[in-house]
């Protein structure tokens, strides 16, 4: 069996993915096919003896989509033509979509005027044939999707609306048909826009990994593509560069920013024997790294693949409207058939279909969702669609990353201890003066604390870095060293320093003239609004809130203890996914909250991923289902309250529409409600839904 990534063009919705998957799995020799709309590809496992790329491409084409010509063997001369054809098709789809939406906007104005009795004469002047053309322009892409689904015996939410369109046209109500088609088109447009953002996020993530590596070969460093690096090769990484492989340091020393992998804000000191990861950044030194894993096998490559796979594996949250349509459409068809068989009256039969397929069922959910999304956005809460709202409303497990999520994400000075009696300010003055020219994040925190206390600094002389473990400089004629215990040659730690380490603080020792004068404790700070937000979540009924972090246990325990929650430390991205899946396997609805690239797979795999906004990575913001556009934890309980309130309104909308349509079906079936009045009566539940949903526009 062979597994390949097959690029597929033309997909813009979940139904598209289902069509492509069915087409590929129908090819003899194909064992499985996972179709990822956001990544624009299908992961196909097949038997090379019975299937080949050409047959797979033909199956995709038969489903109405395309495989780029350059993905097929022997297609060099066809690549340009294929690109031009794809461009023409894209332009055609775009022009058709813009035209349809423009007509739809005009139609909304016409229908609003009809409700008020202002445009009745104008609508009658438009010939019916022209109306049919307008309906076709507005709803054509959605109509094609319904036909494809029907050919594969699938019922989707658009199927119910398509029946309404046809029924309205049969009785001459083209305006009603056009409005139904317009709502079908709006939903497709929003979904396509969201998928486009997700595709760009995947490209941006892939760009973080270096394309080349400097490999030692034949006694010199040679720059080669990363794909040519093999396990065992020694790679040279200079200051400011990203490490291109997973491996172990064999020579050199530096500080490494590992936030892309572990989420840890504090740089890690690396020396011989230290394990390092691809896509992390070297600061303050150079390294020679022996390669262990490269490319898709490296930790960063696995993160990229997990983000892509999460689309197929996280479980599609089917909307209430889709589930409702699955049984409602056959019921309506049965009532219409019985009406025709019993009364032999085609007009009564058409009236049943028209009144049952009111736009109210189509807008019962989206109008409430749009009202919620708009109101939430004004408060700095970006919710990416109705599926996220539905899942938030039923969530019962909350998993939270530490660094940059619960905490601010940057080190701050918490303790300054004098060991020689000179006083904390003197210790801080020496350290900040020695670190005055350092770019290290800990140095910036020490200088910031000295500035906050109003301490005047000296200009250091003979400043030099100690290869990631500290700095040494001459301050006021004395040699000052600031750094780790290793930098100062300490075999045993003073009791004060040991206490700081037990509390999860990073310690920076300060010596003057070879004598230890003090120690500075630095740690990441918990956001001030987090305790109140966690308390609010508990009041809402959440009894399972857990901290997940790549930090060590000493750093995680104080944060979890202060908030009264459980924690798991030392986790890599795949470990976080395992925690998510373990909860989901128990039937629980999981919300993951994070901010970094390392959180992205878990954010995508959870039922709902929430990303911190201002400090969050672009990838986390894109793959998450909810984004906090300012770093304010009070928005987290607000998101859950908003979702629960919205789902109450949605259920009310469906209840209102259901009762109205039951009455309408009964009146139409016995001939009391003719087709024209049935079409006109559709506006009544619409107005009720709009009024009920408008309550969501008011913030609470």
How far apart, in Å, do the first and last CA atoms of the chain sit? 56
For residue 567, give Cα distances in angstroms to 83, 547, 558: 51, 4, 10
CA distance 682 to 538: 43
Residue 18 in tokens: 């289902």
Cβ-contact 627, 613 below 8 angstroms: yes
For residue 368, give Cα distances in angstroms to 144, 374, 389: 27, 10, 10
What is the rounded (10 degree) CA torsion for 83, 89, 91, 94? -140
Residue 28 in tokens: 């003899």
Task: Report the alpha-carbon angle 73-79-85, nearest 5.
Answer: 130
Residue 497 backbone class (left: φ over 0; alpha: ψ -120 to 50; beta: rest): alpha
For residue 92, give Cα distances in angstroms to 69, 80, 85: 20, 18, 10
CA distance 382 to 628: 6
Contacts of 139 (CB under 8 A, 6+ apart): 100, 165, 178, 180, 181, 182, 184, 185
What is the rounded (10 degree) CA torsion for 206, 208, 212, 215? -120
CB neighbours of residue 699 within 10 Å: 10
CB neighbours of residue 62 within 10 Å: 12
Characterize 337-362 residue by residue with b for buried, 16 or more Cβ atoms within 10 angstroms of its Cβ, and e for exposed.
eebeeeeeeebbbbbbbbbbbbbbbb
Can you name the residues that pair with 367 across neighbouring β-strands? none
Question: What is the widest separation between alpha-carbon atoms in the chain?
Answer: 108
Active site residue 401: yes
Q: β-strands 246-252, 275-276: how paired? A: antiparallel
Residue 148 in tokens: 């494809």
CA distance 334 to 339: 8
Cβ-contact 436, 459 below 8 angstroms: yes
Is 614 buried (19+), middle (13-18) or exposed (0-12) by CB count in 10 A? exposed
Can you name the residues that pair with 251 across neighbouring β-strands? 288
Length of the chain measured in residues: 700
| Residue position matching structure tokens 């084409």 | 61
For residue 404, give Cα distances in angstroms to 266, 480, 578, 595: 11, 32, 21, 6
> Would you call 588 helix, strand, or coil by DSSP?
coil
Q: E strand or H helix at 163, and its extent? A: helix 157-170
Cβ-contact 563, 406 below 8 angstroms: yes
| Residue position matching structure tokens 């998101």 | 639
CA distance 92 to 110: 27
Contacts of 297 (CB under 8 A, 6+ apart): 246
Q: Which of 109, 95, 103, 3 is nearest to 47 (CA)?
A: 3
Q: Which of 112, 692, 686 is nearest to 358 (CA)?
A: 686
From 22, 233, 269, 401, the catalytic residue: 401
Side-chain-side CA neighbours of 166 within 13 Å: the count stands at 11
Could you list the active site residues? 401
């Amino acid at each position: 069996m062979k597994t390949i990534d097959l690029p597929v063009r033309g997909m813009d919705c979940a139904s598209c993915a289902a069509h492509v998957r069915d087409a590929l799995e129908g090819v003899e020799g194909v064992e499985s096919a996972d179709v990822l709309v956001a990544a624009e590809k299908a992961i196909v496992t097949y038997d090379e003896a019975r299937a080949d790329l050409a047959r797979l491409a033909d199956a995709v084409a038969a489903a109405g989509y395309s495989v780029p010509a350059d993905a097929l063997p022997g297609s060099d001369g066809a690549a340009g033509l294929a690109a031009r054809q794809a461009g023409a098709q894209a332009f055609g789809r775009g022009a058709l979509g813009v035209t349809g939406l423009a007509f739809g906007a005009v139609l909304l104005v016409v229908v609003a005027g009809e409700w008020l009795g202002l445009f009745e004469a104008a609508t009658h002047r438009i010939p019916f044939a022209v109306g049919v053309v307008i309906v076709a322009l507005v709803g054509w892409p959605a109509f094609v999707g319904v036909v494809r689904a029907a050919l594969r015996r699938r019922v989707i939410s658009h199927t119910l609306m398509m029946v309404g369109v046809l029924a309205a046209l049969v009785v001459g109500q083209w305006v009603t048909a056009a409005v139904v088609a317009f709502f079908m088109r709006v939903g497709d447009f929003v979904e396509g826009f969201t998928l486009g953002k997700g595709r760009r996020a995947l490209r941006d993530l892939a760009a973080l990994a270096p394309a080349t590596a400097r490999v030692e070969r034949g006694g010199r460093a040679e720059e080669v593509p990363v794909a040519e690096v093999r396990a065992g090769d020694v790679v040279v990484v200079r200051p400011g560069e990203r490490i291109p492989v997973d491996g172990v340091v064999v020579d050199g020393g530096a500080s490494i920013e590992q936030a892309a992998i572990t989420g840890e804000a504090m740089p890690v000191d690396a020396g011989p024997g230290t394990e390092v990861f691809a896509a992390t950044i070297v600061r303050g030194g150079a390294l020679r790294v022996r390669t262990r894993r490269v490319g898709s096998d490296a930790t960063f490559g696995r993160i990229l693949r997990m983000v892509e796979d999460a689309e197929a594996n996280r479980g599609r949250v089917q909307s209430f409207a889709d589930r409702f349509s699955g049984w409602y459409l056959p019921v309506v068809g049965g009532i219409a058939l019985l009406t025709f068989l019993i009364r032999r009256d085609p007009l009564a039969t058409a009236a049943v279909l028209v009144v049952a397929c009111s736009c109210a069922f189509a807008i019962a959910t989206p109008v409430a969702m749009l009202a919620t999304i708009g109101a939430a956005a004004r408060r700095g809460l970006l919710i990416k669609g109705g599926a996220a709202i539905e899942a938030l409303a039923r969530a019962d497990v909350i998993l939270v990353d530490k660094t940059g999520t619960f905490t601010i994400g940057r080190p701050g000075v918490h303790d300054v201890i004098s060991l020689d009696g000179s006083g904390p300010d003197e210790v801080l003055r020496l350290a900040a003066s020695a670190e005055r020219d350092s770019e290290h994040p800990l140095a910036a925190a020490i200088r910031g604390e000295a500035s906050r206390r109003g301490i005047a600094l000296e200009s250091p002389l003979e400043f030099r870095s100690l290869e990631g473990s500290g700095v040494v400089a001459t301050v006021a004629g004395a040699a000052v060293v600031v750094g780790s215990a290793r930098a100062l040659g300490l075999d045993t730690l003073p009791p004060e320093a040991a206490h700081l380490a037990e509390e999860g603080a990073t310690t920076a020792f300060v010596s003057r003239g070879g004598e230890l004068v003090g120690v500075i404790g630095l740690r990441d700070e918990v956001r001030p609004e987090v305790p109140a937000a966690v308390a609010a979540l508990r009041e809402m009924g959440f009894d399972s809130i857990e901290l997940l972090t790549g930090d060590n246990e000493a750093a995680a325990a104080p944060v979890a203890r202060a908030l009264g929650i459980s924690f798991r430390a030392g986790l890599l991205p795949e470990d976080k996914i395992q925690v998510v899946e373990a909860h989901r396997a128990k039937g629980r609805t999981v919300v993951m909250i994070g901010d970094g690239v390392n959180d992205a797979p878990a954010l995508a795999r959870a039922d709902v991923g929430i990303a911190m906004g201002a400090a969050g990575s672009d990838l986390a913001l894109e793959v998450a289902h909810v984004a906090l556009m300012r770093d304010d934890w009070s928005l987290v309980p607000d998101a859950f309250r908003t979702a629960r309130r919205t789902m109450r309104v949605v259920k009310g909308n469906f209840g209102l529409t259901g009762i109205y349509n039951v009455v309408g079906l009964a009146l139409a079936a016995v001939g009391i409600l003719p087709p024209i009045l049935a079409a006109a009566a559709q506006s009544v539940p619409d107005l009720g839904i709009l009024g009920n949903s408008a309550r969501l526009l008011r913030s609470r």
